[in-house]
Structure 1
Amino acid sequence: MRTRTPKDRWDLNICKHDRVLEIGSGHNPLYRSNVIVDKYIDNNTHRCGDIKIFPHQHFVHADGEHLPFKNKEFDYVICNQVLEHVDNPQLFIQEICRVGKRGYIETPSLIGEFLFPKESHQWVILDINDKLVLYKKELMPGNYKNNYGELFLNYLPYQSLPYKLLKLTEGDLMINRYEWKDEINIIVNPQDDYYLPFFTQKWDRNMVEKLFPPRHVYHELKAICDAISHIIKIKLLESLHKNRKLQTLEEHLQPHNTLSQRNSRSTHENNKMQ
């Protein structure tokens, strides 16, 4: 079930001693994650760059739809910008709920997918009634090929304070943020008269207010203050943690290989002396 809507992936309810799994982190893993899983090692079709990993993290080459872990092995599972890529979303969700007790899912929203679509994205996703509703992108009307990600992902988030405030005060406009416990409610390719029009028809005022309920002026001001506070917090954390260095996957695995070779040579030499 859904527990809350975090501001972003730096606002998660992860406890100090939680064991954290991150699936499909690509070039931008969360430092708090203990184990990193990725399906594609030598192919960047599904990400913006080569796999990166922090020195303290453990890497596992695996498919998110078939995870090589025990039931409830992890306290928290992070899936940031991954669900929209998968072949079988039901199986993927089933697996992360099997290996994890709690977690966080983030995906582009329908508007986000329109603004910065990726050819590798298979699903358009909306968060409706605490359910993640997925609709096959190839069935969507409209132009989902022009990609303005350079503006909305790589420029405005770093240059425009009003844009940052928009993302935090109306976060669901472009991103779905879903923190969960025990299970995740999803609907795939809905055909009913309630969910289907969100993907195939013009949005009327009732549909808009369903996704973005009206707020009192007090809640508007509070949302702005909370957003400014969060931006300041992230800037402080970035300055404190600027020495954290990411490694390529090859660099990350090299020390382990070197240590293994040294241990092997040491054992061989000891055997010769004996």
Structure 2
Amino acid sequence: MWSALVLAFSLLVAAPASNAQAKPAAPAPAAAPAQAAVPAAPQGRKKRVAIFDFDYATVQTSTAALFGTNVDVGKGISDLLVTDLVKDGTYSVIERKALDKILTEQNFSNSDRANPTSAAKIGKLLGVDAIIVGSITQFGNETKNTNIGGTGGGLGGFGIGGFGKKKSKAIVAVNARMVDIDSGEILGVADGKGESARESTSLLGGGGNWHGFGAGGANFGSSDFQQTILGEAVKSAVDQMSTGLAANNTKLQTRTINVSGLVAAVEGGQIILNVGGK
């Protein structure tokens, strides 16, 4: 009897344990699906611009006196601006050779450099989004000399003999306009004004050289020029103007070029279009 009761009690105790062991484990929560990397939206192409040589008619007389000959300072400023904008990367700048080729073919004159309407026509031929034209409104220096044993110096360090202390101040002012090639509308403007002053001891010899530049052209991008007082002022003015033009990027819309043509043939699942002009 006692054996039967012990056996029954043992079975009752073992049953819950057996049931607990047989109970299946709760399923682990499903892992959240991995999120696929979302590719960055493709950026649109850079807006294409062409930069004309700057008009320098306002300062032509003073620059000729400064350098001793007629130097195209408008081209020098334009070349520096091209370099700045290419380095900045905001715009795609048309190569100089391509621009010069079109200007030659169209008999583009220096007097049209700052003319938005003329510039817009050239821009259409180049297929750019905008043309940048500009003017040089100030380009020169202010010089004060204290001479010892020689006659006074004038503009740009001219003098006869003598040894003296010279304080020179160069001032360069430029402005640029971004022109829509379809309407000729001015979309944005940018200005730059650079000043540089330096006091130094110098030999004031006779002749017309200004800071080492004589007759002929001057390379504004050269390190020799940019280390001069005038070169520092030029670079400062162009850098300011370049920054302003880059900020005008949002005002310029990328042009949509519509091409019309005729279906010339359909061969083997391919359509051949004739988009030539008469």
TM range (shorter): under 0.3
User: What is the TM-score with the length of structure 1 in the denominator?
Assistant: 0.25
Q: TM-score when scaled to structure 2?
A: 0.24
Higher RCO, 1 vs 2 (CA within 8 Å, ≥6 residues apart): 1
User: Higher strand fraction: Structure 1 or Structure 2?
Assistant: 2
